Amino acid sequence: MASERDEQEARLAFLAAVLGADVGTAYRLALDLLDRGVPLDTIVSRALAPNQAEIGERWERGDLGVADEHGATAAIEDLLALLAFPLEADPDARAVVVACAEGDTHALSTRSVAAALGLAGWKVTLLGASLPADELGRFLGQHRPEALALSCTIPSALPGARRSIRAAHRAKVPVLAGGRAFGPDGHRAIALGADAWAPDATSAVETLERWTPDPERAEAAVPQPHPECEALALRRVSLTDVALTRAREREPFEAGDADRLADEVGALLRVAEASILLDEPAVLADFLAWQRRTLAAHGFAEGVVDEVLGALVGALDDLPTTRRLLQDARQGSS
């Protein structure tokens, strides 16, 4: 992609192909670019990742359906699988496991990191979407890779990321973390115990090739979690009930919408837990700004998020830190 115009053209050609779930065309486009000397990393970071971001924004605005997004994502996953894996493995290659944080299903992000590492000569085991931390720990203890590359895309999975990191450290495997939930720099990843953070797939390779991690030290540096984190996780179901009852009193809705809203309240409570774990109220504030926008675009009444926050605040007398966090977040928006 020699010029910005070439880059834009290539990106749009990929977008048209994947929105039509046309893996064949996307594969031909990619092979042509590789033939012209464009590295796979560049194709991912300049064309495929921005397209996924655009698809997400269109879904957020309600312009694209979930099925369009699923089809496009599956096409890119197939494309990366076709392009990235060597047919013959080098038995002496360094081993890395790539996985999503517990509770995070954004497997395509792990696929792009796995592809970059595979092309750089690493022996990659891709575990993909959300894996319970205990299972991940068991697998790492058994296979003893040099590193775990852990991806976290949604902020509601940050508590799960913490559990995944702890499980890796217990198996004495250091963790390189990445993905949009960690924010634009590495501070959240490091606060959750990761040995290092990198912004993209290319830097993942560079980091793993030059780091000297010390998982014991990284783990020892993580403060004890606030006691309300566990209490909040235990109360998630009953709190969701309280919030749904309040929202339904204000405006009755159908069973499907109740399920969707229950998922959103569950996500809100997990993000509140992440905010407390990280001692960073902005994690919740940013999430609520996104949730207000998205729920309004997907047919929920204006103000439903603040109604939910009000109900939760009223039910949290015994968890004062969480109560204050939600109250501030509610007041901050008005």
Written as six digits, the tokens of 329 are 């977040």
Q: Verify binding: residue 178, ligand B12, rule CB under 6 A.
A: yes
Residues 261-280 close enough to bind ligand B12 by CB under 6 A: 263
Distance from C-alpha of 110 to C-alpha of 124, rounded to nearest angstrom? 11
Cα separation, 246 vs 23, in Å, equals 46
**CA gap 37, 32 in Å, rounded:** 9
- Other residues' Cβ atoms within 10 Å of the Cβ of residue 76: 24
Contacts to ligand B12 from residues 80-119, by CB under 6 A: 103-109, 112-113
- State the Rg of the chain over Cα: 21
Q: In the bound complex, which residue of the shown chain has the CB atom lying closest to ligand B12?
A: 178
Size of the site for ligand B12 (CB under 6 A): 41
CB of 120 to ligand B12, least distance (A): 13
- Contact string 43-82 vs ligand B12 (x = CB under 6 A): -xx---x--xx-xxx--x--------xx--x---x-----
Structure tokens at 198: 């990198």
Q: How far is the CB of 140 from ligand B12 (least distance, A)?
A: 15
Q: Which stretch binds ligand B12 (CB under 6 A): 13-21, 138-146, 197-205, 315-323?
A: 197-205
- Give helix 281-297 / helix 255-278 axis angle, nearest 10°: 160
Asked if 110 contacts 77 with a C-beta cutoff of 8 angstroms, the reply is no
Cβ-based nearer residue to ligand B12, 130 or 322: 130
> How many of the other CB atoms lie within 10 Å of CB of 254?
8
Q: Is 137 a binder of ligand B12 (CB under 6 A)?
A: no
129 burial (CB, 10 Å; 0-12 / 13-18 / 19+) is: middle
Stretch of 26-34, 41-49, 234-242, 299-307 lying at the interface with ligand B12 (CB under 6 A): 41-49
Q: Contact residues for ligand B12 (CB under 6 A)?
A: 44-45, 49, 52-53, 55-57, 60, 69-70, 73, 77, 103-109, 112-113, 149-151, 153-155, 176-180, 198, 200-201, 204, 263, 287, 290, 294
